[in-house]
Amino acid sequence: MKAIYKRELKAYFHSMTGWLFLAANIFLSGLYFFALNLRFGYSSLANTIYNILFLLLITIPILTMRMMSEERRQKTDQLILTSPVSVGRVVLGKYLAAATIFTLSTLVIAAYPLILSRFGAVSMGESYTALLAYYLYGLTCIAIGLFISSVTESQVIAAVLSFGALFLGYMMGSITGLISSTGNLFTRILNVYDMTSRLEDMMQGSMELKSVLYFLTYILVFLFFTVQSVQKRRYQVSVKSLQMGAYSTGMIAVAVAAAVFLNLAAAELPSRFTTFDMTSQKLYSLTETSQELVKNLTEDITVYVLQSEEKQDTTLKQTLDRYTDLSGHIHVEYKDPVVNPNFYKDYSDGNIGMNSLIVVSGKRFKVIDYNDIYETEVDYTTYSSNVTGYDGEGQITSALAYVTSEDMPVFYTLEGQDELTLSTAFQNGLEKQNAQLQSINLLTQESVPEDAQGVLIMAPVTDISADDADKLIAYLDKGGKILMTTAYMEDFAEEMPNLQKVLDYFGLAIEKGLVMEGDSSMYYQQPAYLLPDVAYDTLTKGISGEKYIFMPYAQGIRSEEKEDVTLTPLLTSSEASYSKLNMNQAQNYEKEDGDAEGPFDVGIHAEKKLEEGTAGLTLFTSENLFTDNANSMVADANLMLFTNTVASMSDSKESVSVPVKSYEASMITINDGTAFTLGALFMLLLPLGLLIAGILIWMERRKR
């Protein structure tokens, strides 16, 4: 085999075939690398790789067309047919030679993420998973091309047939879609040869061992077909041709059956053993929040998908597979609206989009419209809509909690003092928590409603009345829970005496001045934009030790010990921090005489033990903490803190709100000079160098 391998490899480099293949693949990959990564700044290589797949349909038939057919045309195949070397070794040697040429071009592409990493954060896992898919696809195409080359002595026919076979595999998904939109036995058989659908998940950053197995078995099967093709001709020169021909047919049937059985068996394995999320955003993994909810399910839930299984959104299917793997109580059923056009009308009066979900339990149901699964943003320069996030897990986990919970918690947000209005993102966080949010003005209410599981006081600009303060304290005496944020005020106790009465209930007060951070690692851009230390607590689950909280313009919290009050600091500034007084007259952020020294608590949770139950207050001293601008700075960590806090105030105690997973990967910033230099290297210099080297070697050999 080694001699065959060396012979074939030399043949590629002694002719123009190998050099042309390398030059063409490197040129086109370099072109897309320059356009998408160097110029547009995409940090992932997945789009680049997906765009160059079609080139393999052209270059690989050229690479493989002479591998066996040339031997037949020149009659040198007789040496192989009568040689003591096994046919399997001959075929493997030829295949490895072609695979080596393809590997060389792939190694050039493998350098692209390393180059990009010098200019910014790169999703290495996603990029190299996509590259592995490309490599396996290419190796499979070589095996198919080698087999076709073994059945004809014409290189042209071998190239044309190989292109046709590879093109058919590339387009099979579209072809079966045209035959039947709902799928049938015939299309399922045809989809066995649908190679691109096996690439899609890996191109999106999901390491699919089932897809890896699919390509490996295809390679082995077509190599076996090639061996059988040559083996049959080898024994046609003997008197045993009839027996060996029958043996060959039987072995082909066995090989195909074994490959089919192996892939069917792998398909039955739970996806947690075969699928691995390689994306930097962990788009396809379930968070700890979802895992705990699903594992604790005690009743059966059915998730209806309004689509055929063959046409379902692949990303959404992966997410649903994660849920079914974790619990036998979750069942997924596909209801194609083409076949069952009226099914959804039992659950909704309006129209529901294809790929929408209906989550049903014995208690109630919830509809998840497909439009809510993806977050979109309108680009007003082009008036086009771009997908910016995936909320499949968030919507499904929320629906599971909704259909299994006994009661829906109700929260009241205080109004009448120019309080902050929660943005859509934070309202959605509450909705995912399956909480009802209602407004309340205590001036028109005798008391806080009995069904209130919590009251939100969001950075009021003016003070509440003394009567309102008494109503809040009466609510706390019954075991009430309050979430409060405060706006910056030089002297809170003086400007907000009635709200201060509520704080006094827990022995809390707000420091004069604005907290400035002296430790540069604990602020962003300026000392007033705090990145406080996050304590480990139920309220900071998923944040502490993992994410930053962005807290601009905060004030310190003073506390006095009370025998019946337990205080838990949540957010704290460093020892280098200080509270700067008279900010309106301050000329800079530097510490001055009279400024109080840190550290300061800027977020705290207080619980007061009552005769029956406990009263609770969670206080954050930043008006902007729960706003979209602050939240976007820390990838939804502020939103997570908000939903955790709200969950702790309800009977569930645990948040079931999972933030949207962003599709917006970090961008690469490369100056034009460097981008054009790298582009010229991979698009011009390297391909031209390979072509020139090939031409020189070819001309030198012609002279001999």
- DSSP string of 263-325, one letter each residue: HHHHHTS-HHHHEEE--TT-TTSPPHHHHHHHHT--S-EEEEESS-GGGS-HHHHHHHHHHHH
Q: In degrees to the nearest 10, what's the CA dihedral of 630, 634, 639, 641?
A: -110
**pLDDT higher than threshold 90 for residue 573:** yes
pLDDT, mean of residues 548-553 = 92
What was the pLDDT predicted at 664?
64
What was the pLDDT predicted at 653?
62
- Three-class secondary structure of residue 456 per DSSP: strand
What was the pLDDT predicted at 237?
45
Q: Using 50, 70 and 90 to split pLDDT, how confident is the model at 588?
A: low
Q: Using 50, 70 and 90 to split pLDDT, how confident is the model at 650?
A: confident
**pLDDT higher than threshold 70 for residue 111:** yes
What was the pLDDT predicted at 44?
81
Distance CA 233, CA 308 (A): 46
The answer to whether the Cα torsion of 248, 137, 321, 189 is positive or negative is negative
pLDDT, one tens digit per residue, over 670-692 is 877 888 889 899 999 999 998 88
Identify any residues that bridge with 303 across adjacent strands, giving them in sequence order.
Answer: 332, 359
**pLDDT higher than threshold 60 for residue 304:** yes
Query: Picking from 75-84, 290-299, 432-441, which range would have the lowest pLDDT averaged per residue?
Result: 75-84
Distance CA 336, CA 667 (A): 39
What was the pLDDT predicted at 380?
59
What was the pLDDT predicted at 71?
67
The H-or-E segment that residue 679 falls in is helix 672-680
Of 349, 313, 305, 312, which is closest to residue 330 (Cα–Cα)? 305
Domain boundaries, the chain: 2-240+673-703, 288-389, 408-662
* Residue type for position 603: G
Q: In degrees to the nearest 10, what's the CA dihedral of 18, 24, 25, 27?
A: 140
What is the percent of the chain where pLDDT is above 90? 32
Distance CA 565, CA 504 (A): 11
Mean pLDDT, the chain, integer: 85
Q: Using 50, 70 and 90 to split pLDDT, how confident is the model at 239?
A: very low
Of 10, 30, 5, 42, which is closest to residue 664 (Cα–Cα)? 42
pLDDT, one tens digit per residue, over 607-625 is 999 988 899 999 999 999 9
**pLDDT higher than threshold 50 for residue 240:** no
- Cis ω on the peptide bond leading into residue 599 (within 30° of 0)? yes
What was the pLDDT predicted at 251?
76
Nearby residues of 130 by Cβ (< 8 Å), 6 or more positions away: 44, 45, 46, 49, 50, 202, 203, 205
pLDDT, one tens digit per residue, over 194-228 is 888 888 878 888 888 888 999 999 999 999 988 88
Q: Using 50, 70 and 90 to split pLDDT, how confident is the model at 693?
A: confident
- Three-class secondary structure of residue 617 per DSSP: strand
Q: Using 50, 70 and 90 to split pLDDT, how confident is the model at 582?
A: confident
Question: Where would I find the H helices in 74-154?
Answer: 77-82, 87-116, 124-150
Distance CA 482, CA 500 (A): 14
Q: How far is CA 312 from the centre of its chain?
A: 17
Q: Which residue has the higher pLDDT, 399 or 187?
A: 399
pLDDT, one tens digit per residue, over 419-462 is 888 888 888 888 888 888 889 998 888 889 888 889 999 999 99
The H-or-E segment that residue 153 falls in is none
Dihedrals φ, ψ of 608, to 5°? -115, 125
* Residue type for position 691: L
Q: Is the pTM of this model over 0.75?
A: no
The H-or-E segment that residue 367 falls in is strand 365-368
Q: Using 50, 70 and 90 to split pLDDT, how confident is the model at 238?
A: very low
Pairing state of beta strands 357-360 and 365-368?
antiparallel
- DSSP string of 536-598, one letter each residue: -SGGGTTTTTT----EESB--EEE---TTEEEEEEEE--TT-EEE--TTT-SSSS--TTPEES
- Three-class secondary structure of residue 379 per DSSP: strand
pLDDT, mean of residues 53-61 = 91
Distance CA 40, CA 43 (A): 9
Q: Which residue has the higher pLDDT, 182 or 196?
A: 196
> Does domain 408-662 match CATH 3.40.50.880?
yes
Pairing state of beta strands 301-305 and 275-277?
unpaired
Q: How far is CA 651 from the centre of its chain?
A: 32
pLDDT, mean of residues 19-26 = 91
What was the pLDDT predicted at 244?
39
pLDDT, mean of residues 27-45 = 87
**pLDDT higher than threshold 70 for residue 486:** yes
**pLDDT higher than threshold 90 for residue 635:** no
DSSP annotation of 251 reads: H
Residue 410's Cβ-side half-sphere holds a number of Cα atoms within 13 Å equal to: 10
**pLDDT higher than threshold 60 for residue 255:** yes
CATH of 288-389, one of 3.40.50.2000, 3.30.429.10, 3.40.30.10, 3.40.220.10: 3.40.30.10
Burial class (CB in 10 A: 0-12, 13-18, 19+), 580: buried
What is the percent of the chain where pLDDT is above 70? 91
What was the pLDDT predicted at 384?
66
pLDDT, mean of residues 366-381 = 81
pLDDT, mean of residues 158-168 = 91
What was the pLDDT predicted at 467?
92
